[in-house]
């Protein structure tokens, strides 16, 4: 296929011009840290929901999730169908967050437990952002540019930058500029616009992909029923599947890395989902930008509906790309995706979405979908840039610099963002050493999410848990997660002495080969035990100080205020989300 047509470039240029206008308007309305970090708490429900969706639907989806669709079908749709987690955010957690009037999730943890818990969570969250969202966004930007503009190369002295690194750096610079200058208001409003572009562009890609393939039925026939089966997660050849225990010749197979066993999906996926949607600063910050509980809840419900789309916007296009390659309909796709043995190449499968854009879309539409790709990359990074700056500035820097001016806080947030971007760049080789972008993302989140999930959920639902128990659970869980990362990283990098992994049967070999979802559940169980044990061995918290921050300390005034913020419309809309999830599971039965 020829390079992008001038019409495509005109569409992309128009998109960036529109972003520039939004940033300029947003810059003129920044007077305080609340304006910069929370958009003055003046975001309506439509903007809140669209911003949540656009922040989530980013690089890991257009590159990683589509790649997962090409290799494993709908297996990863289990994660995407956790839209019900957003209902938990709107109905159960928004009332607590809005009453507390906090900037960040660590700040809420301080009100519920202690300042030490706040700072510990800030550190964990920043590490998670650098290793997942920032590094993943940079990596995905490089993947997209390497496919769409392979001829893009830059020579700086003796340093040669190919299209992958040029794309990564360009995405960082463009996103960093409008995020650093515009704050959350620029992020939220651009994300609302990006959501429309992304959804429309991905829908068109699905339509044109099916047209090139011949329709829905040829897709099902080519890829097979197994790739359409959500009820039988993929397991290694020879093992039993469906809802039977995962077995291996008479014993439980606790350590395999190339499948998605139902046991891990059943217990681990909800832990990661609820942590992400209900307690992660990256997502919840949009709800905190709403003026009241009603707007924040409606934004969460709206985002839940949008969250149901990725299965059809990313997984199905990935499967279409694989089907086109397998059927020899498009020879360039076969050369890229199908190995000499006739199986899908997992390394190049991450290029499925941009490859489909490159080979099936006509001029003009191709430019719009490329703009959608850039929108997803940039919105994902923009959200984490702003969340990271907020965490570092409001939770860590401000603690040691009392009385600092509002202007100084904003400047520090911008510098912190730039530093974390550089660290994320250095982490890219670790991602490249994994088996896929989306798998890498879920793996690292599985190691870092459990302690945060435990302290928030058990802390809100059980008032007896105290500051000592919270801090102990955070520290123990974080150390367990870092330990696993320290064990895995040398193997993924292929460092000297680790190219073949650890000696089979050794302790480190067991840790390295223990399936990541099982390890995640192990961290969760340990954190729950530690939190309860330490809490009951120490003094109970002062219930008056945590009034309104747990279900057990709500007053009649708290309940009445929350009840007045919703009606039957919100209830019916929430039931509609649950019905849509059930319909998806019924549809994808193989």
Question: What is the rounded CA–CA span in Å between residue 239 and residue 253?
Answer: 9
Question: What is the rounded CA–CA span in Å between residue 239 and residue 228?
Answer: 19
Nearest in space to 136 (alpha carbons), one of 472, 440, 423: 440
The answer to whether 198 and 299 have CB atoms below 8 angstroms apart is: no
Q: Is the pLDDT of residue 334 over 60?
A: yes
Rg (CA), the chain: 23
Choice between 432 and 229, residue whose per-residue pLDDT is larger: 229
Say which range, 195-204, 347-356, 374-383, 449-458, has the weakest mean pLDDT: 374-383
Q: Structural domains in the chain?
A: 6-152+169-398+428-587 (1.20.1730.10)
Question: What is the rounded CA–CA span in Å between residue 357 and residue 147?
Answer: 10
Angle, helices 406-426/365-390, rounded to nearest 10 degrees: 120
pLDDT at 185: 58
Q: Per mean pLDDT, which of 211-215, 535-539, 566-570 is the most reliable?
A: 535-539
Mean pLDDT to the nearest integer, 538-553: 91
Question: What is the rounded CA–CA span in Å between residue 511 and residue 514?
Answer: 5
Give the confidence band of 345 by pLDDT, cuts at 50, 70, 90: confident
Mean pLDDT to the nearest integer, 137-163: 71
Mean pLDDT to the nearest integer, 172-193: 63
Q: For the segment 416-467, what is each residue's pLDDT rounded down to a tens digit?
A: 777 777 776 676 666 665 555 666 777 888 899 999 999 999 999 999 999 9
Q: Is the pLDDT of residue 238 over 50?
A: no
Share of the chain above pLDDT 90, in %: 19
Kindly report the number of other CB atoms within 10 A of residue 2's CB atom.
6
Which H or E element spans position 252? strand 251-252
User: DSSP assignment, residue 74?
Assistant: G
The answer to whether 548 and 555 have CB atoms below 8 angstroms apart is: yes
Burial (CB count <10 Å: 0-12, 13-18, 19+), residue 367: buried
Structure tokens at 424: 């994320």
pLDDT at 297: 92
Residue 400, classed as helix, strand or coil, is helix
Choice between 44 and 4, residue whose per-residue pLDDT is larger: 44
Give the confidence band of 233 by pLDDT, cuts at 50, 70, 90: low
pLDDT at 59: 59
The answer to whether 532 and 482 have CB atoms below 8 angstroms apart is: no
Choice between 526 and 248, residue whose per-residue pLDDT is larger: 526
Q: Is the pLDDT of residue 404 over 80?
A: no
Question: What is the rounded CA–CA span in Å between residue 73 and residue 226?
Answer: 8
Mean pLDDT to the nearest integer, 478-489: 91
Residue 589, classed as helix, strand or coil, is strand
User: DSSP assignment, residue 91?
Assistant: I
pLDDT at 284: 85
Q: For the segment 104-135, what is each residue's pLDDT rounded down to a tens digit?
A: 788 899 999 999 998 898 888 888 877 777 77
Question: What is the rounded CA–CA span in Å between residue 47 and residue 289?
Answer: 10
User: DSSP assignment, residue 338?
Assistant: B
Nearest in space to 524 (alpha carbons), one of 457, 462, 433: 457
Share of the chain above pLDDT 70, in %: 77
Nearest in space to 459 (alpha carbons), one of 506, 527, 513, 400: 527
Give the confidence band of 573 by pLDDT, cuts at 50, 70, 90: very high
Mean pLDDT to the nearest integer, 477-491: 90
Mean pLDDT to the nearest integer, 32-46: 58
β-partners of residue 248 are 251
pLDDT at 524: 96
72: left (phi over 0), alpha (psi -120 to 50) or beta: alpha
The answer to whether 206 and 47 have CB atoms below 8 angstroms apart is: no
The answer to whether 324 and 211 have CB atoms below 8 angstroms apart is: no
Give the confidence band of 531 by pLDDT, cuts at 50, 70, 90: very high
Torsion angles phi and psi, residue 229, rounded to 5: -105, 110
Mean pLDDT to the nearest integer, 4-27: 75
Give the confidence band of 496 by pLDDT, cuts at 50, 70, 90: low
Which H or E element spans position 33? helix 33-38
β-partners of residue 154 are 161
Choice between 327 and 484, residue whose per-residue pLDDT is larger: 484
Residue 159, classed as helix, strand or coil, is strand
- The chain-wide mean pLDDT, for the chain, equals 78
Question: What is the rounded CA–CA span in Å between residue 495 and residue 116?
Answer: 37
Residue 495, classed as helix, strand or coil, is coil
- In the block, residue with structure tokens 């982490």: 427
Q: Is the pLDDT of residue 179 over 70?
A: no
Structure tokens at 493: 């990098």
Mean pLDDT to the nearest integer, 298-309: 91
Q: Is the pLDDT of residue 243 over 50?
A: no
146: left (phi over 0), alpha (psi -120 to 50) or beta: alpha
The answer to whether 268 and 20 have CB atoms below 8 angstroms apart is: no
Choice between 553 and 396, residue whose per-residue pLDDT is larger: 553
pLDDT at 159: 65
The answer to whether 445 and 127 have CB atoms below 8 angstroms apart is: no
pLDDT at 28: 56
Choice between 256 and 445, residue whose per-residue pLDDT is larger: 445
- In the block, residue with structure tokens 């708490």: 41
pLDDT at 72: 79
Structure tokens at 180: 């650093």
């Amino acid at each position: 296929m020829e390079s992008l047509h001038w019409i495509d470039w005109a569409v992309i240029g128009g998109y960036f011009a529109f972003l520039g206008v939004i940033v300029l308007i947003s810059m003129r309305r920044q007077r305080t840290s609340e304006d910069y970090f929370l958009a003055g708490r003046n975001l309506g429900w439509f903007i809140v929901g669209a911003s949540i969706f656009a922040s989530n639907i980013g690089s890991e989806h257009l590159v990683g999730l589509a790649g997962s669709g090409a290799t494993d079908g709908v297996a990863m749709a289990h994660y995407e169908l956790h839209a019900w987690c957003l209902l938990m955010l709107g109905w159960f957690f928004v009332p607590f967050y809005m009453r507390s009037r906090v900037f960040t999730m660590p700040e809420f943890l301080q009100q519920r437990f202690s300042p030490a818990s706040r700072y510990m969570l800030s550190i964990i969250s920043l590490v998670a952002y650098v290793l997942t969202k920032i590094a993943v966004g940079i990596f995905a930007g490089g993947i997209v540019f390497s496919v769409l503009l392979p001829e893009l190369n830059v020579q700086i002295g003796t340093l040669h930058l190919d299209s992958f690194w040029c794309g990564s750096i360009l995405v960082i610079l463009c996103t960093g500029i409008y995020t650093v200058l515009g704050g959350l208001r620029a992020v939220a409003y651009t994300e609302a616009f990006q959501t429309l572009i992304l959804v429309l562009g991905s829908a068109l890609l699905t339509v044109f992909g099916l047209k090139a393939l011949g329709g829905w039925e040829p897709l099902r026939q080519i890829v097979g029923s197994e790739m359409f089966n959500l009820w039988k997660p993929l397991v290694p050849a020879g093992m039993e599947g469906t809802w039977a225990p995962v077995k291996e010749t008479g014993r439980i197979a606790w350590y395999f890395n190339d499948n998605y066993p139902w046991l891990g999906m059943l217990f681990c996926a909800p832990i990661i989902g609820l942590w992400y949607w209900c307690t992660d600063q990256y997502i919840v910050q949009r709800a905190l930008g709403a003026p009241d509980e009603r707007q924040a809840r409606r934004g969460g419900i709206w985002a839940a509906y949008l969250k149901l789309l990725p299965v059809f916007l990313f997984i199905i296009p990935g499967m279409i790309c694989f089907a086109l390659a397998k059927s020899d309909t498009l020879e360039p796709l076969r050369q890229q995706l199908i190995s000499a043995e006739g199986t899908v190449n997992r390394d190049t499968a991450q290029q499925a979405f941009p490859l489909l854009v490159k080979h099936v879309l006509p001029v003009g539409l191709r430019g719009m979908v490329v703009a959608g790709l850039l929108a997803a990359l940039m919105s994902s990074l923009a959200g984490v840039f702003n969340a990271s700056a907020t965490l570092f500035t409001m939770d860590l820097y401000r603690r040691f610099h009392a009385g600092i001016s509002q202007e100084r806080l904003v400047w520090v947030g911008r510098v912190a963002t730039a530093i974390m971007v550089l660290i994320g760049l250095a982490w890219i080789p670790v991602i490249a050493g994994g088996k896929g972008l989306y798998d890498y993302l879920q793996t690292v989140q599985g190691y870092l999410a459990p302690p945060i999930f435990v302290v928030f959920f058990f802390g809100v639902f059980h008032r007896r848990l105290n500051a000592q128990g919270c801090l102990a659970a955070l520290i123990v869980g974080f150390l367990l997660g870092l330990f696993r990362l320290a064990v895995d990283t040398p193997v993924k990098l292929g460092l000297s002495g680790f190219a073949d992994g650890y000696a089979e049967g050794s302790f480190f070999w067991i840790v390295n080969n223990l399936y990541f979802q099982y390890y995640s559940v192990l961290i969760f169980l340990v954190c729950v035990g530690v939190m309860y044990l330490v809490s009951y061995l120490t003094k109970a918290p002062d219930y008056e100080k945590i009034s309104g921050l747990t279900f057990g300390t709500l007053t009649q005034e708290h309940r009445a205020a929350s009840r007045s913020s919703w009606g039957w419309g919100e209830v019916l809309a929430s039931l509609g989300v649950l019905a849509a999830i059930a319909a998806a599971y019924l549809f994808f039965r193989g």
